[in-house]
Amino acid sequence: MERPHSLGNVTTLEADGDIEYAFHELWPLIESSNCVVWIGSGLSYGLYPSWGETIKRLCKDCGVSLQIDDDALLTDDDALLTKGADFYMALAEDCKVADRDKYNASLQSMFGKLATNERRALSLLIRLPAKGFVTTNYDRLLREQANLYNSTAFAPRAYPYLSASDLGGPKKPIYHIHGAIAQHGPVNIVLSKSEYKEAYGSRSLLPGLLKDLLSMQDILFVGCSLDEPAMKRLFKQVHDIIKSLSAGSQYAARRYILIEKRFQMIKDPVSNADIRVPNDAKEREEEKRFEAMGITVLRYDPDDNHTHLDEILQRLCINAGTYTSQPVKIGYGEDLPE
């Protein structure tokens, strides 16, 4: 196996060795059955709107101006992404204030319906012998995979009703820490500026749950960016506390994130053809941020629709004895009870 090279606690995986190396790094975490799997919006991408797409749709439905060049946004999500999370939250707040009913209806139309396609990584993740699952996604893809795999083994919990006491219970919790949106019923999520302020404030159960998870549990992050300001502050706060408590001790909670390698296109000086080369600057920027949060980065090549990620997860499931070659399709079965 081709060995990766390392920088601090950041590991860059070479193309031929990424799957094998990631498996060997992560297997002790999974084998303990004491790991929490944290799933981000990357695993819903293409089946549900991205953060930028959600904000654009909300602005259109609620009659709110995007405050930047709309034409650019129609063809380039990066134009909105560069504005940052605070800009997103402020726009969502404007939409909510402009028309609360349309705000809720728009979100339900985007996230309330179940997707009809499969996201293989989710069907593999739910099979891992994890202690519990955390997701920031509003959709119910993870719940549906849990329902199809073993409907009696999981206990969905959605913001604001969150408690760490569910960990270690007879059923594995699936925490929707920013809320979950059903096709009908109330919309209680964390998206706008005021919603973030309330969710991460002193009267919310969310900070207590996250502090418990981040201070006590091994965690595997998949499909995450973790770039919301409130979440970054909380991660940094907990990481600093743990560093001071564990100085000179054997305490070592393990946190890994599986994240894609970053590339950029440049012109070949000889052929003038577009070629893909590593974007080292972007990777260093990400790695510095994750290192400050106490998270070790494992990268994989995103070529071929992220099949390298699927193969890493499949190896873990095979070793855990939970892998099945039978494809799992998203359906419209009964949802798990709250």
185, 313: one domain:
yes
Residues of the chain with pLDDT under 50: 1-13, 15, 70-71, 73-76, 327-338
Q: Are 206 and 212 in contact (CB under 8 A)?
A: no
Structure tokens that stand for 187 in this block:
């919309």
pLDDT of residue 117: 76
Q: Tell me if 175 is assigned to some domain.
A: yes
Q: For residue 122, which of 111, 113, 133 has the smallest C-alpha distance?
A: 133
pLDDT of residue 258: 96
Final residue before a domain boundary, out of 114, 141, 162: 114
pLDDT of residue 9: 43
pLDDT of residue 186: 83
C-alpha distances in Å from residue 71, one per residue of 51, 59, 206: 18, 14, 38
Cα dihedral across residues 181, 185, 189, 194: positive or negative: positive
How far apart are the C-alpha atoms of 83 and 332, rounded to whole Å? 37
pLDDT of residue 146: 93
Q: How many alpha carbons fall within 13 Å on the CB side of residue 223? A: 25
Final residue before a domain boundary, out of 114, 145, 162: 114
Q: Tell me if 122 is assigned to some domain.
A: yes
297, 189: one domain:
yes
201, 235: one domain:
yes
pLDDT of residue 55: 92
Q: Tell me if 197 is assigned to some domain.
A: yes
Longest CA–CA separation in the chain, Å: 63
pLDDT of residue 114: 80
Q: What is the CATH number of the domain that holds 276?
A: 3.40.50.1220
295, 220: one domain:
yes
The pTM of the full predicted model, rounded to 2 decimals, is 0.85
175, 294: one domain:
yes
132, 109: one domain:
no
Q: What domain range includes position 63?
A: 49-114
How far apart are the C-alpha atoms of 259 and 248, rounded to whole Å? 31
pLDDT of residue 101: 96
pLDDT of residue 259: 93
How far apart are the C-alpha atoms of 271 and 268, rounded to whole Å? 6
89, 218: one domain:
no
pLDDT of residue 256: 96
pLDDT of residue 250: 54
208, 149: one domain:
yes
3-state SS, residue 237: helix
Count of domains forming the chain: 2
190, 309: one domain:
yes
Q: Tell me if 240 is assigned to some domain.
A: yes
pLDDT of residue 14: 52
3-state SS, residue 217: coil
Q: Tell me if 294 is assigned to some domain.
A: yes
3-state SS, residue 129: coil
Residues 6+ apart with CB under 8 A from 89: 191, 192, 193, 196
Question: With DSSP H G I counted as helix, E B as strand and the rest as coil, what are the percentages for the chain, rounded to 5?
Answer: 45, 15, 40
How far apart are the C-alpha atoms of 47 and 119, rounded to whole Å? 9
287, 196: one domain:
yes
Q: Tell me if 169 is assigned to some domain.
A: yes
Q: Tell me if 13 is assigned to some domain.
A: yes
17, 69: one domain:
no
Structure tokens that stand for 247 in this block:
């100085």
- What's the start-to-end Cα distance of the chain, in Å? 45
pLDDT of residue 115: 79
pLDDT of residue 7: 35
pLDDT of residue 1: 39
Final residue before a domain boundary, out of 83, 114, 145: 114
Q: Tell me if 332 is assigned to some domain.
A: no
86, 148: one domain:
no
pLDDT of residue 79: 54
